[in-house]
Amino acid sequence: MSQPAPPVIFAPARRLGQRGRALHLQLRPGAATYLIDDMVADVAERLAFLRHVPRRVLAIGDLGALGLALYGPETEVTGLDPAAGFDLEAPYPLRGFDTVVSLGVLDTANDLPGALIHLRGALAPGGLAIASFIAAGSLPALREAMLVADGDRPAPRLHPAVDVRAGGQLLQRAGWADPVVDSRTLAVRFSSLDRLVADLRTQGLSNCLANPGPPLSRQQRAMARERFGSGTTETFEILTLTGWKR
């Protein structure tokens, strides 16, 4: 019996446009890149701790920063990105890598278990996989502001996300060996709600839900701005999944 298709939570076309726009915005001077920068630094620390020296790397997401972080005279880095049409939820076109790193893209996969299975499938035996993306504890201040703006009829504004417990279950289901799941928080202070929204767009975190709900009215936007306030510290939770292919 065939498996039922996963629910369509995220719209592929909107996700593609979101990702392409974000990569374009990141080319601007002073663009917000603190989330991907944090993920890249974390990957470098994990590789050093595990004493894993990458030789043939598949980098999914931000190739430029990741390529620099992992660069060595004998390291071959191949990059794939959803903005270029790479399908996270299909078998990868390349295989046999000793290291596969996915940064900031799996949070909008409709079939996340399948995406993790395909990620593992790109590894050679003994290879290491690291995947980081935004997790369930992110953006509490924005969520509260949206609830206030929507009143008695809350609309889908922010993406559903995975927590640590669900991450562990996903890795077991995907067949990763010696799985490790952990999360960390990154606190960022914003002068206004508009500043936060601009940073979210620049980092590919704007709404790409299949059913995103109606746009906010002018009054609702004013209510959300007032609730969010100025000088507000927002929290991003970053989930990292690590495992091997035996």
DSSP class per residue in 101-151: EEES-GGG-SSHHHHHHHHHHTEEEEEEEEEEEE-TT--HHHHHHHHHHHT
Statement: residue 240 has pLDDT above 90:
yes
pLDDT for the residue numbered 2: 58
Residue 217 falls within a domain, yes or no? no
Pairing of strands 123-134, 232-244: antiparallel
3-state helix, strand, coil in the chain (%, to 5): 40, 25, 35
Statement: residue 35 has pLDDT above 90:
yes
pLDDT for the residue numbered 65: 66
Residue 47 makes CB contacts below 8 A (sequence gap 6+) with 53, 54, 70, 99
Residue 53 falls within a domain, yes or no? yes
Residue 18 falls within a domain, yes or no? yes
- Residue by residue, DSSP assigns 29-68 as TT---HHHHHHHHHHHHHHHHHT---SEEEEES-HHHHHH
**Which pLDDT band holds residue 183 (cuts at 50, 70, 90)?**
very high
Residue 77 or 127, more confident: 127
Q: Taking residues 41-64, report their average pLDDT.
A: 89
Residues spanned by the domain of 67? 12-138+160-187+235-244
Least confident of 61-70, 156-165, 194-203: 61-70
- What is the C-alpha separation between 23 and 154, in angstroms, rounded? 31
Count of structural domains within the chain: 1
Residue 143 falls within a domain, yes or no? no
- What is the C-alpha separation between 209 and 197, in angstroms, rounded? 16
- Proportion of the chain above pLDDT 90, given as a percent: 87
Statement: residue 13 has pLDDT above 60:
yes
- What is the C-alpha separation between 191 and 170, in angstroms, rounded? 37
Question: Residue 45's CB: how many other CB atoms inside 10 A?
Answer: 11
Say which CATH number the domain at 56 has: 3.40.50.150
Please state the pTM of the whole predicted model.
0.94
